């Protein structure tokens, strides 16, 4: 039998990786042909998108879609919503949002919390929580086929944001007060939210028949300085519900990609213990958030996604600053695999188009592990 030059074979193989293969190798802590790229819990806000569109047309004669879409390795898929129709501004949780201008555009902020006046578990029973009957999961195979029509991508679905969905209904300040004065109500809300997300995820993944690789879950549990709650409160009120959701997701062979903004270093061990596979956002401008520490302490047990700062470098740095940050993150987090690069959150209005291009051009071209 003819012996194969393994190194040469791998180098050739790397040149023809599909997006799905590239992400899968990264999630197996293996190096690839280039760093995987994705915009998870991200995007480009409308004013910045318009500026980038104009700049790309002038400089390269292409649209934003033509520029960015070929670089993306992860696509989202999900079911159809077929449930009740809601009045304008309301969502399926009964939460209402109204637009609040930031000048160039607006964000939609909550101005009605449907469980704000709830006092007992009986009050929760009067609220109409969403049902999986409100979704058509039979469309999932068709959605998968459509997503893969022009190449094999890593597919991701939404698994749920338990704590956030709970405070959206109860109110941010009120739910934190409930942790101390009405813990039974907190558990009652989160139990109902978790029941929905768990069944929702099971039905999506069952319909996907192994073709969805990632389930996105989230809960912002950190701010710029540290955790929003003590580690002990996180262990009691948040972790157990994500453990149950993550277990259900893993039963279908999908991996959990978990989003939190802010400083979360104090509970990374706990996040791993609760079953996440990929830590997403990576807000390195927050206190104690350090890519080298994350990689050295947790890189054998955890993968990472995001990291390029939408708070500092992208909006306020030079193009060279952006290139340097991207190269640094790839060098640190991408060694031996385990990293999918992207912005840490939505790219904000006012971000220079040259900086956005520096992000994606560098991510496409810089890979120091290619010839090893």
pLDDT band at 157 (very low <50, low <70, confident <90, very high): very high
Q: Which two tokens stand for residue 93?
A: 């949780």
| pLDDT tens string 176-185 | 999 999 999 9
* Percent of the chain whose pLDDT exceeds 90: 95
Alpha carbon separation from 113 to 90, 91, 171 (Å, rounded):
10, 11, 6
Neighbouring-strand partners of residue 222: 227
Unique residue bearing structure tokens 């810089």: 366
pLDDT (mean) for 60-66: 98
pLDDT at 336 over 70: yes
Q: For residue 333, what pLDDT is reported? A: 98
- Phi then psi dihedrals of residue 15, to 5 deg: -70, -15
pLDDT (mean) for 279-303: 98
Q: For residue 16, what pLDDT is reported? A: 77
pLDDT (mean) for 220-242: 97
pLDDT (mean) for 203-216: 98
pLDDT band at 359 (very low <50, low <70, confident <90, very high): very high
Q: For residue 118, what pLDDT is reported? A: 98
Mean pLDDT of the residues in the chain:
95
| pLDDT tens string 9-27 | 344 445 679 999 999 999 9
**How would you class 150 by CB atoms within 10 Å of its CB: exposed for 0-12, middle for 13-18, buried for 19 or more?**
exposed
Q: For residue 15, what pLDDT is reported? A: 65
pLDDT at 224 over 50: yes
pLDDT (mean) for 204-220: 98
pLDDT (mean) for 77-93: 98
Least confident of 9-23, 76-90, 189-203, 229-243: 9-23
Compute and round to an integer the Cα radius of gyration of the chain: 21
DSSP character at residue 158: E
**Do the Cβ atoms of 212 and 155 come closer than 8 Å?**
yes
Q: For residue 371, what pLDDT is reported? A: 74
pLDDT (mean) for 327-356: 98
pTM assigned to the model = 0.95
């Amino acid at each position: 039998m003819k012996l194969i030059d393994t190194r040469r074979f791998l180098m050739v193989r790397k040149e023809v990786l599909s997006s799905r293969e590239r992400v899968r190798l990264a999630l197996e802590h293996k190096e690839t042909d280039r760093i995987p790229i994705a915009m998870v819990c991200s995007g480009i806000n409308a004013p910045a998108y318009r500026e980038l569109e104009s700049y790309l047309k002038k400089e390269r004669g292409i649209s934003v879609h033509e520029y960015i879409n070929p670089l993306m390795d992860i696509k989202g898929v999900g079911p159809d919503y077929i449930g009740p129709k809601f009045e304008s501004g309301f969502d399926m949780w009964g939460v209402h949002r109204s637009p609040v201008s930031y000048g160039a555009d607006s964000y939609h902020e909550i101005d009605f919390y449907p469980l704000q006046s709830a006092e007992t578990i009986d009050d929760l029973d009067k609220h109409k929580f969403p049902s999986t009957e409100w979704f058509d999961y039979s469309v999932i195979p068709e959605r998968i086929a459509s997503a893969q029509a022009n190449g094999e991508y890593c597919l991701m679905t939404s698994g749920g944001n338990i704590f956030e969905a709970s405070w959206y209904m109860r109110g941010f300040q009120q739910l934190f007060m409930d942790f101390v004065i009405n813990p039974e109500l907190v558990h009652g809300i989160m139990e109902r939210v978790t029941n929905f997300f768990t069944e929702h995820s099971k039905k999506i993944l069952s319909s996907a028949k192994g073709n969805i690789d990632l389930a996105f879950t989230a809960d912002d549990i950190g701010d710029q300085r540290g955790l929003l709650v003590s580690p002990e409160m996180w262990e009691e009120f948040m972790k157990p519900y994500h453990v149950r959701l993550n277990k259900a997701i893993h039963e279908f062979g999908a991996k959990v990609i978990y989003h939190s903004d802010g400083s979360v270093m104090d509970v990374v061990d706990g996040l791993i213990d609760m079953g996440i596979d990929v830590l997403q956002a990576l807000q390195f401008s927050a206190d104690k958030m350090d890519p080298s520490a994350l990689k050295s302490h947790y890189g054998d047990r955890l993968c990472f996604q995001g990291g390029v700062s939408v708070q500092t470098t992208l909006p306020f740095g030079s193009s060279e600053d952006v290139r340097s940050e991207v190269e640094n993150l790839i060098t640190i987090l991408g060694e031996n695999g385990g990293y999918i690069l992207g912005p840490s959150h939505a790219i904000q209005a006012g971000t220079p188009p040259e900086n956005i291009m520096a992000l994606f051009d560098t991510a496409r071209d810089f890979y120091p592990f290619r010839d090893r």
